[in-house]
Structure 1
Amino acid sequence: MQQTVDVIIVGGGVIGCSIAYHLSARGIRVRVLERNRIASEASGAAAGMLAAQAEFIESAPLFEFARHSRAMFPALAADLKERSGIEIGLVQQGLLRIATCEQDVIRYHAQAAIQQQWGEATQWLSAVEAKEMEKALGSDVYGALYLEQDHQVMAPSLTQSYAKAASDLGADICEHTEVYELIREGGKVVGVRTQDGTHYCHHVIIASSIWSQFLLRSIGYDLPLYPVKGECIAVKTNTPLIRKTIYTDDCYIVPKANGELLIGATVTPHTYNRQVTVGGILALMDVAERLIPSIRGAEWSRTWSGLRPKTPHGMPYIGRHPQLDGLMIAAGHYRNGILLSPLTGIVIADLIEEKEPVADLSAFQIPSMRWTKEHQMTGVRS
């Protein structure tokens, strides 16, 4: 079976679906191939924080990319609701980055000064002021940075809305379709093979999170990525405990539009084991209870884990492959795929249309690698 489209996107997470949406909106014929279901991996497990300021303090290129992407969400939420009918659960209450010791106070004052130089709204709150803003906070709070633009969404809903809007615009969304091989003719990737046949195209975009590296090895290319497991908890309360996201280095608590409080996330690198552990949950609950003592009385809802794709330098890979024509990669967004999804989709669409991207991608370059002998580029279809 031979099926030809303009662009094949491997991966039905938030990055792949954002790319599909933005390409489809430009009239480009797209096919998304997802081995499970849309949002079944990291995008379905994410807390959905748009924490451009809380996350990115020291990395100027990523901070600039992140805040540019964050600014798109209010308009994006309205557009996706109109096109797909799905609410993405945008909550615009901001975030409190909590100081839990004197060292945090010093560090956060310095970070506030840096962000104010960038023109970002950043306010330091004393412990008293922080507790006035969120009365459920406990006595361990030394103060907080109030980041009023760091909002949040429902991550699975965002991913599903991208996919539905793309489909309505003409994209093929193919679930339960695993890509097991890239087709290469000389120095160009021209399609993929799946269990249901061969799909040819002009461009292949690899956006399958941590699984991207395994598919790329089918052509002898080893993309530096590794998994970081994150375990999470959701609880419910009869009345809302907090309105804003509570964020520390060890724990975040996110009040969702559906009434849940999401508590996360543990950090376990270099494992594909998805088990939720007693130790991980106890560690999260210990920090969460110190931040918000009344959370002890919340109703237990659910637990889960996700595998986040991280690169050695902490920057995602976004752009064209340096050695193979027709191949693009958008992977390694670690725990910020939700936040970075709008701008990632737009810049990949710009590259497909051979336009100058709206954002600088120089910090996100895909590394060149040595090819194994059996996969050297010979002009013979692999």
Structure 2
Amino acid sequence: MQKLDMTVIGGGLVGASIAWGLARSGILPLVLDGADLDFRASRANFGLVWVQRKGLHAPHYALWSDKSAKIWPMMAETLSEDSGIDVGLIQQGAFTFALSEEELESFRADMECVAAETAGRGPAFKVLNRSQTRHCVPQVGPDVVGSVYSPADGHVNALRLFHALHVAMQRRGVQYRPNHKVTSIQPVADGFVLQGGGFSILSRKIVLAAGLGNKRLAPMVGLVCPLTRSKGHVLVTEKCKPFVSCLSATIRQTDEGGIMIGDSEETDNSNIASSSAISAVLASRAIRILPDLQNLNVVRIWTGFRVKTADGVPIYDHSARHPGAFLVACHSGVTLAANHSLIVAPQIAASKLGEDLSLFSAGRFSC
């Protein structure tokens, strides 16, 4: 049986961010990952570094997201140094467009609520009427009645980020083993025995960063990870010259030229197949916001399942029953990547999560 000091279970954006951060802290973990065709949120995300309306009725989450957005430039620079890859970070603010006065009022109320609940420490924002929005984004269509703008929001090339994290962690000495799905975790006196198809590993400490798999693995080490099913669609157009002069939560032009359209959510569907009806709704709304999109062809459609906790707020936990077992679960793997690599990973390396993360414990679900 192979004996190790630290193992990260999961090699997606969250697991890779943690593993890279551990390596920067002097801990060289083994990363055990699943198969290519597993349900992976890392392959289906929208690439946003996003704070708008995050943490409604959860001010600690709003401030945590804002903190990560602020240190993202530091992470991007450090990751580029370690990997040689530019992840294409652009943080020039973003809009949430409203297609009715009711929508605009709802967006306003949410942002004002976050501001009040964080005592004014949340992200800055402006509510813009129709003419103000058109002044900022001349391409918007006549159906847009207004918007909310936040200067803190941005985006990255998500697939390049995923690649950069893997290159960086392995250059720093992290071992990565794909096709090593962990099926069993057994706590023992000197750590945890991890077993799967054809392998058995003894690890003194472990980090559960297995996305949807955390729900199954957490009880094996005295933790819980309640997740809700949340399926989303993403549409990608053919590449074109830059013409979308803004970023929104539902429309973004990548640095490679393609335009991504998304933001659907299905809670009762476990089928990975895309839906033409949902794709049509997404495309229709996008064209109402930016009419010029009707001149582009959609070349790809894919779906994915978010790693969404029961209340939408991340979980950070350290098992009291089996010390040495940590858990990280969230559906904001891009936004929170900076926090995970620069803040959470060093705390795990020191074997103690910070007091500020206690509010994110899954113990909140038993209250």
Aligned AA for 2:340? T
SS at match of 1:55: coil
Deviation track 1:8-49 (CA, whole Å, cap 9, x = no partner) reads 111111110010001001111201100125997101110111
- Aligned to 1:325, the other structure's residue is in SS state coil
Which structure 2 residues correspond to residues 216-365 of structure 1 after superposition, within 5 A? 216=218, 223-236=225-238, 238-247=240-249, 252-331=250-329, 333-334=330-331, 336-345=332-341, 346-354=343-351, 357=354, 360-365=356-361
Counterpart Cα distance in 1 of 2:267 and 2:301 = 19
Quote the Cα distance in structure 2 between the aligned partners of 1:369 and 1:57: 17
Partner of 1:380: none
* Pair 1:92–1:110, CA change in 2 (3 A): same
Q: How does 1:139-154 map to 2 (within 5 A)?
A: 139-154=142-157
Amino acid at match of 1:339: T
Aligned residues: 361
Task: Tell me if the contact between 1:228 and 1:310 (Cα under 8 Å) persists in the aligned partners.
Answer: yes
Contact 1:42/1:307, CA 8 A, preserved across alignment: yes
Aligned residue type for 2:258: E
Contact 2:3 2:202 in 1 (8 A): yes
Residue 169 of structure 1 aligns with an amino acid whose one-letter code is R
Instruction: State the SS of the aligned residue for 2:160.
Output: helix
Letter in 2 for 1:10: I
Aligned to 2:134: 131
Letter matched to residue 232 of structure 1 = V
Which runs of 5 or more residues in structure 2 are unaligned? Answer: none
- Distance 1:267-1:289 versus aligned 2 partners, 3 A rule: same
- The one-letter amino acid paired with 2:103 is D
Worse overlay, 236-245 or 164-173: 236-245
Contact 2:39 2:305 in 1 (8 A): no
Q: Which amino acid aligns with 1:350?
A: Q
Matches within 5 A, 1:108-187: 108-113=107-112, 115=115, 117-118=120-121, 120-185=123-188
Superposition TM-score, scaled by structure 1 size: 0.87
| Matched residue type, 2:144 | V
* Aligned-residue offset at 1:330: 0.5
How far 1:197 moved relative to its partner?
1.9
Give the direction of change, closer, same or farther, for the CA distance of 1:110–1:229 in structure 2 (3 Å limit). Answer: closer
Of the structure 1 ranges 222-231 and 199-208, higher mean CA displacement relative to structure 2 is found in 222-231
Correspondence for 1:366: 362
Per the alignment, residue 195 of structure 1 pairs with 197
| One-letter identity of the residue aligned with 2:81 | E
Shift of 1:217: 5.4
Name the stretch that deviates more: 234-243 or 125-134: 234-243
Is the 2:222–2:320 contact (alpha carbons within 8 Å) kept by the matching residues of 1? no
Identity of aligned residues (%): 24
Task: Confirm or deny: 8 A CA contact 2:25 2:349 kept in the other structure.
Answer: no
Partner Cα separation in structure 2 for residue 368 and residue 362 of structure 1: 10
